[in-house]
Amino acid sequence: MTSFQFASRISSLRKEAGITQEQVAQYVGVSKAAVSKWETGLSYPDITLLPKLATFFNLSIDSLLGYEPQMTEENIRKLYNQLAQKFSTSPFSEVQEEIEDYVKEYYSCFPLLLEIAVLYLNYHTQSEQPGELLNRVLELCERVRSHAQDYKYVYKAEVVESTALLMMGEAEKVLELLGDDVEVQFGTDNIIATAHTMLARPEKARETLQISIYQHVMGLLASATDSLMLEVDNSEHYDETVKRMEILINHFNIEKINVNCALVFYIKAAYGYMMQQRPDDAMQMLKHYGRLCSSLTFPIYLKGDSYFDLLENWMKKELAIAEFTPRDEASIKKDILAGVMDQPLLAPLHDRPDFKALILNLKHQLNLS
């Protein structure tokens, strides 16, 4: 946590400017002894003197006090990672108390508030009162939506808040927030790329369109994955979706560049096949799932490849998850195994030799007993 660093700040500012305590005192209208006490931390100036002091040193009042109301994106990423790790080693209540201290100190730092909301969303099931934690997510998102001037923060707040509402079973409120229907996409990516091309910035145009392709591919896979449960009664359409998404995963190397999307697809496809009473097909999906798990390395990174070779800077800037996983390694491993072992839909497979072998291999690869 940071705090006011006024004493050391004013001392260093004065010395850097090559002026005396007496000169500062004369400008502000106090005694030299008062300035000396400020620099040694024995006292603070009256609040009415702060504008004069800030003007004297040509600084903002925040800078004069050594107070930074905003946290950098890099520090936000580092803090998220640190707090996520603490959830696996410390009592939940202690970590939450530390988080709330950061929220109080940086209540106007909207990027931080959003990441805290995401952090709570990812770990709320570990809380003794998960419902209250989801309500806290709503509060943080509401503050961002009400006060942030940057639309991208407002948009992310709407997405995070909607996710929390779904977890709370508040589907009507989700539709009130996001609307009932999907809006037409107007293709601003292409317009931006064209503008860069006209300004003789072909590399920036290429990067823009490559980012667009990447997001559309991932969005396509995510939408198709979510659609599977709605197509269980239509086996022909279900099979076609699985077939096309497997082609997509292979052709775009998704198992390497965004392994989580591939894992979610395979496990949900297995669930759907079990709902259709097709255990062999379900087992085939689980084998893909197990194969991917056996090749996992931690921490898990989002990354590009030889095709998506212009994503690195964008990922670092826009996607916090690009530099670290959204949850700690231990929690991710437990969920990977639980998705197979604890899912009731897969219970009929438990006595199959290939299923038992899959579980043993998962435990070994994930180093879980």
For residues 193 and 15, give the distance between their C-alpha atoms in angstroms, rounded to a whole number.
50
Mean pLDDT score, 84-113:
92
Mean pLDDT score, 19-31:
93
Nearest to 324 by CA among 171, 122, 144, 154: 122
Q: What proportion of the chain, given as a percentage, has pLDDT over 90?
A: 69
For residues 290 and 270, give the distance between their C-alpha atoms in angstroms, rounded to a whole number.
12
The predicted structure's pLDDT at residue 116:
96
For residues 269 and 251, give the distance between their C-alpha atoms in angstroms, rounded to a whole number.
19
Q: What share of the chain is helix, strand, coil (3-state, %, to 5)?
A: 75, 0, 25
Mean pLDDT score, 13-23:
92
Tokens 């839909």 identify what position?
Answer: 345
Question: Does residue 298 have a pLDDT over 90?
Answer: no
Residues whose CB falls within 8 Å of the CB of residue 103, separated by 6 or more in sequence, listed in order: 112, 113, 116, 140
Task: List the structure tokens of 49.
Answer: 């003197």
The predicted structure's pLDDT at residue 136:
97
Tell me whether the omega of the peptide bond preceding residue 348 falls within 30 degrees of 0, making it cis. no
Question: Does residue 319 have a pLDDT over 70?
Answer: no
Question: Does residue 323 have a pLDDT over 60?
Answer: no
Mean pLDDT score, 135-153:
95
Q: What distances in angstroms separate CA 27 from CA 8, 11, 83, 271, 348, one per listed residue?
A: 20, 16, 45, 75, 83
The predicted structure's pLDDT at residue 326:
64
Nearest to 349 by CA among 261, 289, 262: 289
The predicted structure's pLDDT at residue 286:
98
The predicted model scores a pTM of 0.75
The predicted structure's pLDDT at residue 111:
93
The predicted structure's pLDDT at residue 85:
87
Q: What proportion of the chain, given as a percentage, has pLDDT over 70?
A: 96
Mean pLDDT over each residue of the chain, to the nearest integer = 91
For residues 162 and 177, give the distance between their C-alpha atoms in angstroms, rounded to a whole number.
7
Tokens 């896979």 identify what position?
Answer: 221
Q: Rg (Cα) of the chain, in Å, rounded?
A: 27
For residues 81 and 321, give the distance between their C-alpha atoms in angstroms, rounded to a whole number.
10
**C-alpha 89: how far from chain center:** 20
What's the one-letter identity of residue 101? D
For residues 332 and 335, give the distance between their C-alpha atoms in angstroms, rounded to a whole number.
5
pLDDT band at residue 306 under the 50/70/90 scheme: very high
pLDDT band at residue 322 under the 50/70/90 scheme: very low
For residues 122 and 118, give the distance between their C-alpha atoms in angstroms, rounded to a whole number.
6
pLDDT digits (tens, 9 = 90+) for 161-185: 999 999 999 999 999 999 998 877 7
Question: Does residue 2 have a pLDDT over 60?
Answer: no
The predicted structure's pLDDT at residue 5:
74
Question: Does residue 76 have a pLDDT over 70?
Answer: yes
What's the one-letter identity of residue 264? V
**C-alpha 238: how far from chain center:** 31
Higher pLDDT, 103 or 88: 103
pLDDT digits (tens, 9 = 90+) for 191-204: 999 999 999 999 99
Question: Does residue 243 have a pLDDT over 60?
Answer: yes
User: Contact 350/106 with Cβ under 8 angstroms?
Assistant: no
CB-count burial class (<10 Å; 0-12, 13-18, 19+) for 255: middle
Question: Does residue 321 have a pLDDT over 70?
Answer: no
User: Contact 320/79 with Cβ under 8 angstroms?
Assistant: no
User: Contact 61/86 with Cβ under 8 angstroms?
Assistant: no
pLDDT digits (tens, 9 = 90+) for 249-293: 999 999 999 999 999 999 999 999 999 999 999 999 999 999 999
The predicted structure's pLDDT at residue 242:
98
